[in-house]
């Protein structure tokens, strides 16, 4: 099968790779930084500063000098109450939600990486038609796992920090990457049945 690459198809693949790369960068920075949930405190002089930050993995207490006391959930959640959203719940339930959120989010990032890399395989689609299914499939799974991670984490954390915003923007970018990848795959995939029917139609017209 011979695949014809025109300017439109090349542009779609390029856009999908660019969107995927941006999403991967934003998601990695977002999941690795601590400012998913932030709480502020007013001092006696009227100054406001952030005194607590938390993400899916650890949390920190801050003071006016910038010093931080950080701890992981698994060891410090009982004596350092960073996760105070669900006042009627318990720390065991919070940890379960955050464990699921962390796992789903990381799997989503892995799918972003694989989907972005496999987008480049579309340039070699003339060797096998199944190549066109790889990138859209992984990017679709990335969208699902990222959204599931955000939904699970929202049971515990308030997404009022920049880290959560970065991850949410990454989710938007990966949706655009999926859209352009799926369109490009549909344009480049030469279905055998369609090709055979098209050739027979040409013969009849002759």
Q: What is the set of domains in the chain, with CATH numbers?
A: 7-33+86-205 (1.20.140)
| Residue whose structure tokens are 């990457």 | 177
- The pTM score is 0.81
Helix (H, G, I), strand (E, B) or coil at 196: helix
* pLDDT (tens digit per residue) in 93-134: 777 888 899 999 999 999 999 999 998 888 765 556 677 888
The pair phi, psi for residue 5, each rounded to 5°, is -100, 115
Q: What is the pLDDT of residue 198?
A: 53
Helix (H, G, I), strand (E, B) or coil at 81: coil
Q: How far apart are CA 99 and CA 56, in angstroms?
A: 7
* pLDDT (tens digit per residue) in 94-103: 778 888 999 9
Q: What is the pLDDT of residue 117?
A: 92
For strands 48-54 and 37-42, give the pairing.
Answer: antiparallel
Residues in the chain with pLDDT values less than 70: 1-6, 43-44, 46, 64-68, 73-91, 124-129, 190-206
Q: How far apart are CA 149 and CA 146, in angstroms?
A: 5
Q: What is the pLDDT of residue 115?
A: 94
Q: Which two tokens stand for residue 160?
A: 């009022």
Q: What is the pLDDT of residue 1?
A: 46
């Amino acid at each position: 099968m011979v695949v014809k690459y025109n300017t439109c198809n090349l542009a779609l693949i390029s856009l999908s790779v660019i969107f995927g790369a941006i999403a991967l960068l934003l998601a990695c920075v977002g999941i690795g930084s601590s400012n998913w949930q932030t709480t502020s405190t007013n001092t006696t002089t009227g100054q406001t500063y952030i005194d607590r930050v938390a993400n899916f993995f650890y949390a920190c207490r801050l003071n006016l000098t910038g010093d931080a006391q950080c701890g992981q959930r698994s060891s410090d959640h009982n004596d350092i109450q960073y996760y105070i959203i669900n006042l009627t719940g318990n720390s065991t339930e919070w940890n379960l939600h955050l464990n699921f959120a962390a796992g789903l989010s990381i799997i989503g990032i892995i799918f972003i990486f694989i989907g972005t890399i496999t987008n480049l395989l579309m340039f070699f689609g003339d060797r096998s038609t199944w190549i066109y299914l790889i990138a859209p499939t992984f990017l679709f799974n990335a969208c699902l796992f990222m959204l599931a991670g955000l939904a699970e984490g929202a049971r515990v954390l308030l997404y009022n920090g920049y880290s959560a915003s970065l991850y949410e923007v990454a989710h938007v970018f990966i949706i655009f990457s999926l859209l352009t990848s799926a369109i490009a795959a549909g344009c480049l995939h030469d279905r055998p049945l369609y090709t055979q029917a098209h050739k027979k139609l040409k013969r009849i017209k002759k």
